[in-house]
Amino acid sequence: MAKKAPSIKAYLALFIFAALAMLGLLSIITLQQIDHLRQEFQTTSLTQADVELSRAINAAYREILDRTKAYARWQEVRQQIQNPNFYAYWHKHRALSSEVLPDYTQDAAIYNAKGKVLSKLDTSLLPARVPEKSDTATLIFDGNKPSLLLYAPVTNKEGSTLGYVATLIRFLPELFRTGGFSQIDAETIHIERPAAAPIPLHELQGLIEFDLRTDPFSDTLLKIMTSAFVHFWITHGAGHPALLPLRNLAAQPTDPASLPTHRSVARKPW
């Protein structure tokens, strides 16, 4: 007995299925490419943000160092080294009055040529002696707020060391003031207090968390690509020419008894 040959509708259905499968595969590849591009934008922005943060930290450090050196050149500092009898009174009323120190300075101290503070004060936040490695920039934490501790020598006109000064200045206000962030949302910068504090300044960057600023260019580009993809799917998927023959056949008069019963399932765009 001869087998019944498949109807033209069956061939058309197979052809349409293959065409839609190809479109589906193309859609998956396109979506993967868009997602890959989004990840590349994110990675590039993070890399640029890390460089930006490193430069901002260095700029803030240089600014505070310059302020500390300028403080060491203040005439009143030399006067206190020469005659420290009234250092406690001077520290309370004048130590932070120098114009070179910002409002967010936590403390300042003066030391003699041997590195010993001119007078021990109960209210002082600074060490009683200048450490051997006084050129190391150190961060001291008050909660999660770091302050930068720096030392600078006090010299005479001949360059001889008369003593030293130390400053303790809040670091984040200086970072915000000099940072000029374009990739980083400065309002989201957060620092977790390290388990072992104080720490050297070069360890700070690893403790900083932040969010990136929105990049209008990349966001707009991704929106355009996504919209173009959706438009392509609609026009070449639901309105693909491969569906026209089936529509023509469906428009032809057909005996209702010969049509199989089925439940239509709405297709999602992807």
| Residue 250 pLDDT | 41
Neighbours of 53 (CB within 10 A): 20
- Beta-carbon contacts of 105 under 8 Å, excluding residues fewer than 6 positions away, are 96, 167, 168, 169, 170
pTM of the predicted model as reported, rounded to 2 decimal places: 0.69
Task: Provide the 10 A C-beta neighbour count for residue 201.
Answer: 21
Helix H segments across 73-170? 75-82, 87-93
pLDDT tens digit sequence for 26-43: 667 766 676 666 777 677
Peptide bond into 269 cis (omega under 30): no
Could you read off the pLDDT of 230-256 as tens digits, one per residue? Answer: 655 566 555 555 444 544 544 444 444
Whole-angstrom distance, CA of residue 88 vs CA of residue 94: 10
pLDDT at res. 195? 86
pLDDT value of residue 265: 32
Of 181, 185, 203, give the one whose Cα is nearest residue 193.
203
Answer whether 78's CB lies under 8 Å from 162's CB: yes
Adjacent-strand bridge partners of 116: 129
Q: Write down the pLDDT at residue 230.
A: 60
Architecture, CATH, for domain 42-216: 2-Layer Sandwich (3.30)
- Digits of tens for pLDDT over the chain (270 positions)? 556 666 776 667 776 667 666 766 666 776 667 666 677 767 788 888 899 999 999 999 999 999 999 999 999 999 999 999 999 999 999 999 888 999 999 999 999 999 999 999 999 999 999 998 888 999 999 988 999 999 999 999 898 999 999 999 999 999 999 888 888 998 999 998 888 879 999 999 999 999 988 765 555 655 665 665 565 556 655 555 544 454 454 444 444 444 443 333 333 333
Two tokens at 21?
């499968």
Question: Token pair for residue 237?
Answer: 């998927």
| 8-state DSSP, 150 | E
Distances (CA, A) of 258 to 51, 253, 254, 261: 71, 11, 8, 9
> What's the pLDDT score for residue 260?
42
